[in-house]
Amino acid sequence: MFNLLKKAAAKKQDTRAIIEQIHNEFNTAGDTALKEARDIISRTGSPNEKAARLKSIGFTSLPEVSKMNHEIIINKINEGLEEALSTVSVRYPQYKFITIDMANSICKKYGLVIGDISLYRGFVPEKNLSEIEKFYGQNNELSTTYYRRREISSPMELSKGTYDALLSAGIGNVTKNRRPLSIAAPIKYMNAVGYKLNGNFLEKEIKDPIVLAKIKVGRVDLYCIVTAWGDEASDEIVVNNKNN
Average pLDDT over residues 9-18: 66
Over the stretch 23-55, which tens digit does the pLDDT of each residue have?
A: 889 988 888 888 888 888 887 767 788 888 888
* Residue of 136 and 63 predicted with greater confidence: 136
pTM > 0.85: yes or no:
no
Q: What percent of the chain has pLDDT over 90?
A: 29
pLDDT of the residue at 214: 93
Contacts of 51 (CB under 8 A, 6+ apart): 62, 64, 65, 67, 68
**Separation of alpha carbons 40 and 31, rounded Å:** 14
Contacts of 13 (CB under 8 A, 6+ apart): none
Amino acid at 113: V
* Residue of 129 and 187 predicted with greater confidence: 129
Sign of CA dihedral 167, 134, 83, 145: negative
Mean pLDDT of the chain: 81
Domain range list for the chain: 2-143+179-228, 145-172
Least confident of 44-48, 87-91, 93-97, 163-167: 44-48
Question: Given a cut of 70, is residue 69 above it in pLDDT?
Answer: yes
Identify the band that residue 140 occupies on the pLDDT scale cut at 50, 70 and 90: very high
Query: DSSP characters for the chain?
Result: -HHHHHHHHHHHHHHHHHHHHHHHHHHHHHHHHHHHHHHHHHHH-SPPHHHHHHHHHT-TTSHHHHHHHHHHHHHHHHHHHHHHHHHHHHH-TTSEEEEHHHHHHHHHHHT-EEEEGGGB-S---HHHHHHHHHHHTT-STTTEEEEE--SSSPPEEE-HHHHHHHHHTT-SSEEEEEPPEEEEE-GGGB--TT---SS----------EEEEEEEETTEEEEEEEEE--SSTT-----SS---
**Separation of alpha carbons 38 and 140, rounded Å:** 28
Sign of CA dihedral 166, 168, 174, 177: positive
pLDDT of the residue at 19: 85
Half-sphere exposure in the Cβ direction for 27 (13 Å, CA):
18
